[in-house]
Structure 1
């Protein structure tokens, strides 16, 4: 080429689009808008920029409020008024939602995601009195809400369902997909509670996919009583499953339901009486996801049990992802039971991609963890020294517990096996090194530190002081995002040598929240040692 300067807009249209597709869509819009060039205007109308607009990411990643406001101003004044008619999918933050929607009529908008959703949004936007009803009422077919109403202890769940969830389903007349999700894997939003409400509450003749948290297994039964006639996919996280059910539920088959996911993090003793009956109705199911923790049972739930009680009733099932742990009283039979014995029961029914761990746990009990691979869930509890040697890439919440000490090598395995770990809870009152001695740890231990690059919250309320030290010593642990610790004040005081110990000071510099077992007047040394604490 003799010409050293090539005009970017002189390139063929197809090549320009190929280049721009590799970039962030919003960044491209922001950079190119205002360029006096007809080809630029033509490019900006292309579907790769207008099909989906994520007006959340840029502001969420920018710590400077004035900069964020200027960017939003630019979009609302210069960009959105010119492309609003082509936008099909909007991803919005609730605070700027109204401002953005006022920039146009959005006649082709069908998919809406709202972050930091609260009941104030439902009451102000999703009603016939809203100035945006022309956009929402008839156009929206897919609605995804990230609910941030998290003070569930003060919220009356029945009222919340009547005031928020039920009106949403009634307002969006053509809604086929409704997902209400929580803001993180540890916090919970108010669950749907319809047990004591009329059967016409939370009713829809168009909804095909529902993803929502419910208060109890009874709410799940009610969702399947016929009020959602077209439902093909139901994804529920259940607060608790118990045997207290005076209502006789519908036992008819569910011919439309093709995909079902049930997750319950709380232990239940009602697996046989409540979970199995609801699954046996799903004879047309093609995909099943099950996360359940069982206790007060005489035997472990294995492949034979799953096949006899559930899978045999689902002849069309082609995908089964699961995590099941069963906790039983320790007995002689457990002595003679090995991981391979449980695993073989799944191999016998054609499930080879599984992992299993049979262990003794606290309080004279035994526990069996069995799950499909890869592990797709974000939470795992009560694992001990003998957890399977697999990767748990999606797990963000982990609780480990054992009467046998956790050695340094155990935490190395944890860091490698759980790369996304954010919330870590440890229960172990036995130290692997005998009596706690901070001076010995400062001067003797020379092993390289362990990295927990995503760890944000640490619960060490029920541990020997050794494990508190394990995470605070900068020679042992590197956790750059750790901002919260749940710990007994006296033990923290001991490990930090009354908030003077230099080797634990570095890992305390970013802690914004300390959660103690009681409220008291804390010494000023504490606040000096933890300079980032937020009141």
Structure 2
């Protein structure tokens, strides 16, 4: 008996255009392993240059982290598939375990773009210094290179000639036009990312660079003439502080068209370091700023300040995207701080109308956050109760801190306005005023990393008790051990068990000894 309904649709009934879109949404590794040689039509689609031009041999997890491919799966791909597509590949994305098989067995004659993801720094250094085939590809073919270093820290590396990764890459890549180097830093790293005492080869071909660095001196170094054709610089600086270096910060930068500066650490050096740099960019067409400024006995940074400080020097600027936090300390001297309306009007007067802001007056001064709309950044810093509602679809990391308590209803707003939030850091020592059982359960559907180490105990109960908030993807928790033990009643009660059941990592700064119940409460640790 035929049970198929006439309305049933077979995937092969779909047109090629739709099937190709579906394939592009799937992991390429899964497509190779499951669909190659299944039938002639799938083979035509999979080996079509529109699909195969970007060879991505990584396994993307739900958090969009690239992981190595299973050995058995990759062995089949290496032997049965790679030889059939090598001449069609323009770009490769690969992790270190797959490097040897990808490059030492097949010649990719059309390859010009390469993404190296989740590499250990020592492993990458080995490839850059000893793998002849890989170095030849970098030297002869690669024009676009992305490097993502695995782990929390990048240190200066040496191969006996005291060359670091940055220098080696520039030395090897003779035709490079687009370079991205991504890594994270720890607060203990305060030295320059680059060894300024060494001769850097620079580059006569590089036009675009995206990089994370430790210090503001690194930024000045990059713009100090080593990269004559650089027109786009996207830089993330860990800390912007005063310096005794004599690196030039006055020469004009006429070739720079796009500049993006992101720095999460609060800086006192806005006037002495950031402003002089921006005033050098006389032909800039697009500017992106995310900075947190501390000022002593001075007002907030508003539209008037920005115009007089550097915008007046940028006559060709046609796009300005910004998120600027200002923290003012009055040091006992009363300062007439502008209102929120005053701040917004100062931007409107200079031609920027699509923005929002909020300001707070404190006992020691005040704080202000002003940002362009629609919001473009993946982070949102120093959110307070004065926050004004909007749609923040791009934000993945949020930091909340205030001298006034955050109530349950406010977290409800946050969950709605930041629907794709993945990382959350709450700082608040004020107890909640309303501790009644909530009438509406809050769900942070995407949140996997939560830090509640510097909070009143109320916020730990707020987030960990399943009757208040559900965290279905929570895998990383930063917290104080004493608070965690108190809320869970020494890891015996059930109130927080559901939200803690998927935890794979807990960051606790102080030393502690795990009691017997600890392991059963956190089974995946």
Task: Name the TM tier (shorter chain).
Answer: 0.7 to 0.9
Alignment gaps of 5+ in structure 2: 1-5
2:474 to 482, 498, 513: 482
* CA contact 1:192–1:213 (8 Å) conserved in 2: no
* C-alpha contact (below 8 Å) 2:118/2:150 kept by paired residues: yes
2:416 and 2:42 mapped to 1: Cα distance? Answer: 47
TM-score, reference length from structure 1 = 0.86
Distance 1:472 1:119, change over 3 A: closer
Distance 1:250 1:74, change over 3 A: same
Which consecutive unaligned segments of at least 5 residues does structure 1 have? 435-440
User: 1:33 pairs with 22, 36, 45, which one?
Assistant: 36
Q: 2:93 aligns with which of 87, 91, 94?
A: 91
371 and 58 in structure 1: CA distance in 2 versus 1, 3 angstrom threshold:
closer
Q: By how many angstroms is 1:218 displaced? A: 1.2
Matched residue, 1:146: 148
Q: Decide whether aligned partners of structure 1 residues 319 and 477 sit closer, same or farther in structure 2, where only a CA change above 3 A counts.
A: same
- Whichever structure has more helix as a proportion of its residues is 1
- SS of the equivalent of 1:24 reads helix
Q: Is the 8 A contact 2:217 2:247 kept in 1?
A: no
* Alignment partners' CA distance in 2, 1:104 and 1:156: 32
Q: Which residue of 1 aligns with 2:228?
A: 229
Once residues 296 and 255 of structure 1 are traced to their aligned partners in structure 2, the CA distance between those partners, rounded to angstroms, is: 30
C-alpha contact 1:286 1:317 (8 A) present in aligned 2:
yes
Helix, strand or coil: the match of 1:296?
Answer: strand
* Residue aligning to 1:302: 302
Distance of aligned partners of 1:503 and 1:492 in 2 relative to their CA distance in 1, 3 Å threshold: same
Change (3 A) 1:210 1:66: closer
Q: Give the alignment's TM-score, normalised by structure 2.
A: 0.88
| Aligned residue among 116, 125, 133 for 2:118 | 116
Q: Distance in 1 between matches of 2:107 and 2:137?
A: 7
Post-superposition offset of 1:9:
13
RMSD across aligned C-alpha pairs, in angstroms?
Answer: 3.2
Match of 1:360 in 2: 361
Report if the CA contact (8 A) 1:180-1:212 is conserved. yes
- More displaced 10-residue stretch of structure 1: 501-510 or 217-226: 501-510
User: Counterpart in 2 of 1:74?
Assistant: 76
Counterpart Cα distance in 1 of 2:403 and 2:497: 29
CA distance in 2, matches of 1:190, 1:206: 30
1:296-445 correspondence runs (5 A): 296-297=295-296, 298-330=298-330, 332-334=334-336, 337-361=338-362, 364-433=364-433, 445=437
Q: Do 1:33 and 1:78's aligned partners in 2 also have CA atoms closer than 8 Å? A: no
- Cα deviation for residue 158 of structure 1 reads 8.7
Q: 1:188 to 1:69 in 2, by over 3 A?
A: farther
Count the aligned residue pairs. 508
Contact 2:121 2:150 in 1 (8 A): no
Q: Residues of 2 paired with 1:391 and 1:100: CA distance?
A: 42
User: For 2:68 and 2:212, how far apart are their aligned partners in 1?
Assistant: 37
CA distance in 2: counterparts of 1:431 and 1:61, whole angstroms: 33
